[in-house]
Chain A
Amino acid sequence: GAVVSQHPSWVICKSGTSVKIECRSLDFQATTMFWYRQFPKQSLMLMATSNEGSKATYEQGVEKDKFLINHASLTLSTLTVTSAHPEDSSFYICSARDLNKNIQYFGAGTRLSVL
């Protein structure tokens, strides 16, 4: 079964609203989680590294005030897309590293459509 749970899997929202996406590691604790974005037929682009108990590290070009990340516990990270606009429509995927297995597992992804 899935070891990383991501919710919701699909969301439609109006322009200007905010959307929160949750990512949970189910079978292990994750001090670090990652948020990716993927456009159709393109590869995954890392947006930010979520660190438990401290601020997230954003990749160059990613607006930290627009994509708010909170890593509240060792099993939960959230990504909030604030004041969403149609250009934010994309497939957002989280991942977490299982230190015992040294493998990074992915959530099922969230398809965001902003109208």
Chain B
Amino acid sequence: GQNIDQPTEMTATEGAIVQINCTYQTSGFNGLFWYQQHAGEAPTFLSYNVLDGLEEKGRFSSFLSRSKGYSYLLLKELQMKDSASYLCAVRDFGNEKLTFGTGTRLTIIP
């Protein structure tokens, strides 16, 4: 089984940088995903990490440390449209299932 923990809510200012942390415990790790979900919509894929290190994609970056069971999603140059929930999900080794954290509801203020 898996245990995934991320903050419930965060607030950040437009134009600033915010880091959303995710810690996990798993019996068999096969990748960590970050998704963005706006209210009433399905999740959209942001990033995927399976090896340690930083993956950068435009304004979004994701970091993984497998030994620490830790990941973060870094959002730069925040825009009002970045207000959404950010879901951390871990995939089990041996099957395809994703287990999601509770999600972090990010609010961007002017």
Contacts and interface: CB of A to CB of B under 8 A. Distances in A.
A61 to B, nearest CB: 14
B98 A46 contact: yes
B98 A108 contact: no
B7 interface: no
A34 B31 CA distance: 17
Interface in B73-110: 87, 91, 95-103, 105
Interface residues of B, number: 23
Interface residues of A, number: 23
Contacts of B98: 34, 46, 95, 104
Given A103-B48, A104-B33, A93 B96 contact: no
A108 B42 contact: yes
Interface in B17-38: 31, 33, 35
Interface string A70-110: 00000000000000000000010101010000111111110
B43 interface: yes
Contact of B45 (A91, A103, A108): A103
Given A34-B98, A43-B101, A46-B98, A109 B48 contact: no
B43 A108 contact: no
Contacts, number: 50
Interface in B58-82: none
Given A102-B31, A102-B48, A107 B97 contact: no
Closest 7 CB pairs of A and B: A109-B42, A106-B42, A43-B100, A44-B100, A43-B102, A43-B103, A106-B43
28 contacts: A6-B42, A32-B96, A34-B96, A34-B98, A42-B102, A43-B87, A43-B100, A43-B101, A43-B102, A43-B103, A44-B100, A46-B97, A46-B98, A46-B99, A49-B95, A49-B96, A93-B43, A95-B98, A97-B96, A103-B33, A104-B33, A104-B91, A105-B45, A106-B35, A106-B44, A107-B42, A108-B42, A109-B42
Interface of A: 6, 32, 34, 41-46, 49, 91, 93, 95, 97, 102-109, 111
